[in-house]
Structure 1
Amino acid sequence: MKRTLEERLQDGPVICGEGYLFELERRGYLQAGSFVPEVALDNPQALKQTYRDYMLAGSDVVLAFTYNGHREKMRIIGKEDLLEPLNRQAIRLAKEVAEEHPEEEALVAGNISNTNLFDPEDEESKAAIRSMFHEMISWCKEEGVDFVNGETFYYYEEAKIALEEIKKQGLPAVITFGVMGENKLRDGYEVEEACRLLEQQGALVVGMNCFRGPATMQPYIERITQAVDGYVGALPIPYRTTEEHPTFFNLPDGGCSCSLPTETTFPTSLDPLYCNRYELAEWAKEAQRSGVHYYGLCCGASPSMLREVAETVGRKTVNSTYSPDMEKHFLFGSDSTLNQTNTAYKTRA
């Protein structure tokens, strides 16, 4: 029997692999800029392999890649006719991969996200967003997902609409916010208050994802864990954001010696600004101490990074067999059969 999300949360940490957007762009199957997940239709095997890599690295969830796969994005690229096929295909591929898990079938999550349309003063925009969420969540229900992940909301009210539409379909909801440089949501809510309200309205997991690296997300996660009674999710980006530059939208790279095609390092020049896996492990320890239940990494994450987080919070993953072990490295190993001339040379290499 496949345990539900709630049952898994009751049993211990749940890992959710995200970051497909940047990962598939890095692999060459997605266009930076529009960031629309056409890969589900154009290169389904590439998407399946990405799902698989994150699952084997520790993800309990195969998250259907429909982030930005909503009507507004499809309108912008002139492909609204592909909206429903894209959404259904992304979910079906996720289900196929979830069934491959050698130990326990992975959960399959539908995915909705910020629309970039929300205007707190415009009722028509709210109605349009509700309609967009309704159709996407209806397809999730029909395709048999285990829960719906609503993410990267920077307006409380947009997240509230998302939760209402998920509940109408009778599905469990994970709702996470993306907090920009104002350090609060755009409609004035403190993120912990927004999470508290959504929990009261029936969200199973609340928290934060994207925009912020571990250093600038964790202080808010600690406030959320103090404000809510239930399950908290934390999915930072794996970049070294700072108090001066709390999100990856304006992260500078002082070592860059060439001119960039964009005004900032975001989104295609962030490479030198990564956290290493051990920094991410330190964050995972801190998040666990603060009471996080639902762990992941967002844009920029790789499977090896996710595996480090999973192992840090006590999980052994399918691919833990490939976790680093320097014992037999020709320079840095300690195995007695190694060439000792090489190991003695390591300080001068």
Structure 2
Amino acid sequence: MAAKPRGLLERLKAGETIIVAEGYLFEFERRGYLKAGAFVPEVVVEHPELVKGLYREFVHAGSDVVLAFTYYGHREKLRVIGREADLEPMNRTALRLAREVADETGTLMAGNISNTTCYDPDKPETHEQTRQIFKEQIEWAVEEGADFIVGETFGFLGEAMVALECIKEYGNGLPAVITMVIHRDADHVADGPTLVEAMQALEQGGAAVVGFNCCRGPFTTLPLVEKVKDHVKVPIAVNPVLYRTDEEYPTMQSLKNHKGARAFPVDLDAFLCSRSMIAEFGQRCRQLGLQYVGLCCGNASHFTRTLAESLGRTPPASKYSPDMSQHFAYGTDKKLHSLNTEKVVKLL
């Protein structure tokens, strides 16, 4: 077992940057172990060894945090697919495996709650339903040894505030990281407040870190950060998706495939960012002094490694980072190869 790491707040106070790998839903969907649509993490109870393996992959690639795969593993989502009986086993298994990998690797373990898909700002009865969903997931995270709690992908400030209140009430003093999802309107959250107002409300509510995740790619998320960074004192989180969104198509849901139809979710592959784009994103985060940086939907281990390296890290996976000096045609040391590389290059 690795030495116990310093806590989230301690590391942030020391000025460190925390790298957080996310993206489990999309990665397991690509691998054939999770259904697009409901996006429920059934793989946790059906193939827990694969979940533990991906936890390890992300740490190997440079993640400082093992984020328990309980995203969309809540009561409302399991009701949709008729698996309510798996609710507690799914959460506890994801949390327990995350704790095991964090202990093995000397990283932090975070519990995870997310948008409930049932919250309606105009229907108070859904607010209590939302609170109960958060309460049970937070209590399980505490019991299974989480170091902090991430609440993410909230379009409504109201739901984000309920999540934060529940973490403060049921989280046994654990720090809260709260991130919101911003759709086409880059100036407001879904229930009306401006981005600055939303981030300030979360800060005043006691969140240790506030910011943005999901929906937008790296280069349509960073402008959101720039709008709010001078208006809050707590660290800002940035966890974009891995797709090449732009001003015309600012979100992954707005991207169109080659026939003009919505690319989300099955045709998003064509819009994946390159590794050099992720390196550029990481460098920009470094310039902005961001302390909580990660990657969301579309992430994979090689992208996390690229992000870590762009932030000045050398994770274990860097042992296998590309080294084109050894390539038989493009290598810089021609003495390594007997082939006439100039002739080959002309053919390529």
The alignment's TM-score, normalised by the length of structure 1, stands at 0.94
**Equivalent in the alignment of 1:316:** 314
The answer to whether the aligner puts 1:345 opposite 2:344 as a matched pair is: yes
The answer to whether the aligner puts 1:241 opposite 2:245 as a matched pair is: yes
Asked if 2 retains the 8 angstrom alpha-carbon contact of 1:58 and 1:310, the reply is yes
Read off the aligned partner of 2:124 and give its amino acid letter.
E
**Equivalent in the alignment of 2:282:** 284
In the TM superposition, what is the alpha-carbon distance from 1:316 to its structure 2 partner?
Answer: 1.5
Read off the aligned partner of 2:126 and give its amino acid letter.
S
Between the aligned partners of 1:333 and 1:227, the Cα distance in structure 2 is: 48
In the TM superposition, what is the alpha-carbon distance from 1:339 to its structure 2 partner?
Answer: 3.1
Counterparts of 1:202-281 in structure 2, within 5 Å, are 202-254=206-258, 263-281=261-279
Asked if 2 retains the 8 angstrom alpha-carbon contact of 1:156 and 1:185, the reply is yes
Between the aligned partners of 1:12 and 1:131, the Cα distance in structure 2 is: 34
Between the aligned partners of 1:190 and 1:116, the Cα distance in structure 2 is: 22
Asked if 1 retains the 8 angstrom alpha-carbon contact of 2:308 and 2:315, the reply is yes
Asked if 2 retains the 8 angstrom alpha-carbon contact of 1:193 and 1:227, the reply is no
Residue of 10, 24, 39 corresponding to 1:7: 10
* Secondary structure of 1:179's aligned partner: coil
**CA deviation profile, 1:178-215 (whole Å, cap 9, x unmatched):** 10112221101222321121112111111101100012
Asked if 1 retains the 8 angstrom alpha-carbon contact of 2:68 and 2:98, the reply is yes
* Secondary structure of 1:346's aligned partner: helix
Between the aligned partners of 1:227 and 1:20, the Cα distance in structure 2 is: 32
Counterparts of 1:1-349 in structure 2, within 5 Å, are 1-9=4-12, 10-101=14-105, 105-168=106-169, 169=171, 170-183=173-186, 184-254=188-258, 263-335=261-333, 336-339=335-338, 341-349=340-348
Between the aligned partners of 2:212 and 2:133, the Cα distance in structure 1 is: 22
Structure 1 runs not aligned, ≥5 long: none
* Secondary structure of 2:127's aligned partner: helix
Asked if 1 retains the 8 angstrom alpha-carbon contact of 2:210 and 2:235, the reply is yes
In the TM superposition, what is the alpha-carbon distance from 1:314 to its structure 2 partner?
Answer: 1.3
Between the aligned partners of 1:319 and 1:328, the Cα distance in structure 2 is: 18
**CA deviation profile, 1:241-293 (whole Å, cap 9, x unmatched):** 01111100020133x6xx9xxx4110111111111010111111112212211
Asked if 2 retains the 8 angstrom alpha-carbon contact of 1:214 and 1:237, the reply is yes
Asked if 2 retains the 8 angstrom alpha-carbon contact of 1:330 and 1:343, the reply is no
Give the root-mean-square deviation of aligned CA atoms: 1.3
In the TM superposition, what is the alpha-carbon distance from 1:345 to its structure 2 partner?
Answer: 2.5
Say which is worse superposed, 328-337 or 48-57, in terms of deviation.
Answer: 328-337
Read off the aligned partner of 2:299 and give its amino acid letter.
A
Deviant stretches of 4+, over 6 Å = none
Asked if 1 retains the 8 angstrom alpha-carbon contact of 2:111 and 2:149, the reply is yes
Asked if 1 retains the 8 angstrom alpha-carbon contact of 2:99 and 2:144, the reply is no
Between the aligned partners of 1:242 and 1:158, the Cα distance in structure 2 is: 27
Between the aligned partners of 1:48 and 1:131, the Cα distance in structure 2 is: 28
Between the aligned partners of 1:343 and 1:150, the Cα distance in structure 2 is: 54
Paired-residue identity, %: 47
Sort the Cα spacing of 1:219 and 1:347 in 2 relative to 1 into closer, same or farther, 3 A: farther
Asked if 2 retains the 8 angstrom alpha-carbon contact of 1:61 and 1:109, the reply is yes
**CA deviation profile, 1:109-155 (whole Å, cap 9, x unmatched):** 00000111111111100010011101110111111100000001000
Sort the Cα spacing of 1:150 and 1:343 in 2 relative to 1 into closer, same or farther, 3 A: farther
Between the aligned partners of 1:303 and 1:224, the Cα distance in structure 2 is: 29
Between the aligned partners of 2:35 and 2:28, the Cα distance in structure 1 is: 9
Between the aligned partners of 2:338 and 2:213, the Cα distance in structure 1 is: 46
Sort the Cα spacing of 1:346 and 1:175 in 2 relative to 1 into closer, same or farther, 3 A: same
